[in-house]
Structure 1
């Protein structure tokens, strides 16, 4: 039997964490639980990893994730001294982008419970490619000489993006994401293989990048965070292949939103800053779109001056956009600004100000604001109303959320309804609070049945 060789790369990272062996094993166990596959690794198991034992691939990935979260930087399996898995799509230089899309889509159109559980773990170890890493990247795409596309096919994909967005906003990512995944496999992938003039090919690549972005957004809403990250990375790569800088920045901002939603403030700020720095356009709308997310990311890290500066920049940009077009465009509006203001205020400790800004958001909401966001932000408003001692107001706000909850299929909305149960548990002696608490519990039981 060959003698095991100590994993010096893993040991170096371990020493950098300043963990004990017990803490190392506990962090990996924590990620196993987060992934939905609880384990009970001991300090002896951690010692074995350092001394050359190679655990199964899923555990190797969780070890790397635990280290990356502790050290605050992206790491790869190779960085930790682990072998690269054979057949890794992300490690195939010159791989066929269409094959990658088809593999990704087919795996999750009718995902088994095992697939879904594995897709739920957000990874801070994810290597997000910069613009120079993807711009003009040449993919080996096996073309179909018997098929051709033109502007009509590009227009049809863009129209479908609009429809998928509407379905997602009205009913949630759990409802819409399988449709988007199937659309990528059945329609977009064949279009990418078809013959086309160069300008049509690039337009289709850009449209495909946006489909990946919205599919990733839907997966994030489901709670399938690793899957969302995979779609986002594919969106970045497709935008680069299309030489579409704007779409690249749009997707990168989406990665920041995902990190912020999960409480990873440093990563949210880093991705928001990268998106803003890479943005080729200085239109008022684009400045507002980027600066609002930067403000939220900065506030999460306690960078008050930067957060307030970015928020002021967002306000100025919105004013410019409204004065030049008569209305906000592209999905960023005064209601979105009010939401970002609420988030900044909350992260900086101004809970009452956050409540006021969320109320401003609901006063300013327009027809294009999604039904799902109304439920999510309503849940946040109720939680913060309770936090400042307004129990009756919180229950009234939650009641409005619960009225619309049965028709919504969204992991993020599910989380907000679960918080009703948690937040109101200490107040069940109050009749209104008890009624709202029990109603939320009953609706959650119906959803899980």
Structure 2
């Protein structure tokens, strides 16, 4: 046992729990320990030592957390009880804090729910050196630990998580991640995490882990989109762990592909290709839509490292796979013609073909579903910059006006970034009539939004 500062976090929990004495708390810990097969013999003096900052033995901590969870009627994690440092670092910091991925997910989600901590999480560092997580290693990390309560879940709870994930994805598309992500974090902490620790048949438990991994992947995608890259990476790692535990190869590969996109956005070209290749290599025998989803990202990664031959070969594979897919589009991680043309545009731009990238981005917008406001705003933000790069000022102004049509109804850090970039690019051209009209409109929007 090691000495620390007084454990104020544990003191707050005990005050909330309202045991009359420390001795009563110790007795409950001993009883819970017995249920877990542990011979614990704590008394009130042990609790006093914990409050003074002495960390309990590692084997006893699950019993202590379980005793608190039962008393308070919610899941209590190691970090919340003061047995670990606050979760502010990258994925490796999360792993040092707890060996239970569900605890790490709860801590991350609770911090993401708190507006006062969200800004701190948004600046947490992205770990560029994170190795590619191995499926078989992650599958061993999530172990079933019930709360000891009578709660039991079935197929209905799994369906609820799937439905909520689809609804959150719809809100993301229509209104932006700043609205959708806090909802996802709250649902993860308050509903999904307790269900992950509830009693269930093996089949239901596997389905719940899979459904949860899908939601965590989506939450990581939203954090990445909101430029909270350290937080997004941490969600992605948790999604990988849950997917591996569920033996859900599809979500595992889809999450690795999301990590490839994140690395690409941050200009880590080699890492982007490594993640994309790993996602494709780990993919099970799958349908054509998933193959297109993965090979499209490989094409972008190859273009970023200037491997022209591989980039175009992957694009041909993507086009061929998508041609064989049905018309169904998944709400989460779907891939369609709009996504394919966006990848073509990204590949061409990375290889220096700006006119080709502009044409492909127009093709992407032409087939993009009307409800995808956030994706369209991002595409138009990029398109306008590239049009201006070609010297087509009036075309860029028209595209930026289309961007503003969506931006007025979005709450998104990435859209805000495009708005600021628009101002910077237009400043040298203020004498142009089209620019003046556009900036007048943008000024009015900025006054309302305080951008």
200, 203, 215: which is aligned to 1:199?
Answer: 203
- Is the alpha carbon distance of 1:216 and 1:114 closer, same or farther for their aligned partners in structure 2, counting shifts above 3 Å? closer
User: 1:195 deviation in Å?
Assistant: 0.5
User: Which residue of structure 2 aligns with residue 58 of structure 1?
Assistant: none
Moved more, 256-265 or 136-145: 136-145
1:122 counterpart = 2:118: no
Task: Kindly state the Cα deviation for residue 137 of structure 1 after the two structures are TM-superposed.
Answer: 3.5
In structure 1, which of residues 352, 360, 383 is the aligned counterpart of residue 355 of structure 2?
352
**Closer, same or farther in 2 for the Cα pair 1:206/1:417, shift >3 Å?**
same
TM-score when scaled to structure 1?
0.76
C-alpha spacing 1:89/1:353, structure 2 compared with 1 (3 Å):
closer
> In the alignment, which residue of structure 2 is the partner of 1:167?
171
Return the index of the structure with the highest Cα Rg.
2
- Larger mean Cα displacement after TM superposition, 253-262 or 113-122: 113-122
Kindly tell me: are residues 271 and 152 of structure 1, through their superposed partners in 2, closer, same or farther at Cα, counting changes over 3 Å?
A: same
What's 1:381 paired with? Answer: 383
What is the 5 A alignment of 1:144-293?
144-293=148-297
The TM-score with structure 2 as length reference comes to: 0.75
**Distance change in 2, residues 1:372/1:354 (3 Å):** same
Among 343, 348, 368, the alignment partner of 1:340 is 343
Quick one: which of 392, 395, 400 aligns to 2:394? Answer: 392
Distance 2:302 2:335 in 1: 19
Which residue pairs with 2:20 in the alignment?
none
Q: Find the residue that maps to 2:166 and give its secondary structure.
A: helix
**Does residue 364 of the first structure (1) align with residue 349 of the second (2)?**
no
> CA–CA distance in 2 between the matches of 1:328 and 1:294?
23
Q: After TM superposition, give the deviation of residue 350 of structure 1 in Å.
A: 0.6
Change (3 A) 1:394 1:118: closer
Cα gap change, 1:89/1:117 in structure 2, threshold over 3 Å: closer, same or farther? closer
Deviation at 1:388, TM superposition (A): 1.1
CA–CA distance in structure 2, aligned partners of residues 167 and 380 of structure 1: 22
Displacement of 1:317 in angstroms is 0.6
1:319-356 CA-partner distances (Å, limit 9, x unpaired): 122xxx3x253321112111111111111111001111
Give the 3 Å change call, closer, same or farther, for CA 343–192 of structure 1 in structure 2.
same
TM-fit CA distance, 1:112: 1.7
Aligned residue number for residue 434 of structure 1: 436
List per-residue Cα deviations over 1:303-324 (Å, max 9, x = no partner): 1111011001001111122xxx
SS of corresponding position for 2:151 = strand
Once residues 286 and 217 of structure 2 are traced to their aligned partners in structure 1, the CA distance between those partners, rounded to angstroms, is 22
Quote how far apart the aligned CAs of 1:139 are: 2.3
Q: Tell me which residue corresponds to 2:57.
A: none
CA–CA separation in structure 2 for the residues paired with 1:351 and 1:233: 35
Q: Is the 8 A contact 1:417 1:444 kept in 2?
A: no
Query: Where does the alignment leave 5 or more consecutive residues of structure 2 unmatched?
Result: 1-83, 88-92
Assess if the C-alpha contact under 8 Å between 1:245 and 1:280 holds in 2.
yes
**Cα distance in 2 between the residues matched to 1:236 and 1:175:** 24
Question: 1:97: Cα distance to partner?
Answer: 3.0
Offset of 1:85 from its aligned partner?
Answer: 7.2
How far apart are residue 241 of structure 1 and its match?
Answer: 1.1
Q: CA-to-partner distance for each residue in 1:384-443, whole Å, 9 max, x for gaps? A: 111111111110110111122122111111111111111111111112113323543553
- Decide whether the 8 Å contact of 2:142 with 2:241 is kept in 1: no
How many residues matched?
360
Q: How does 1:73-88 map to 2 (within 5 A)?
A: 88=93
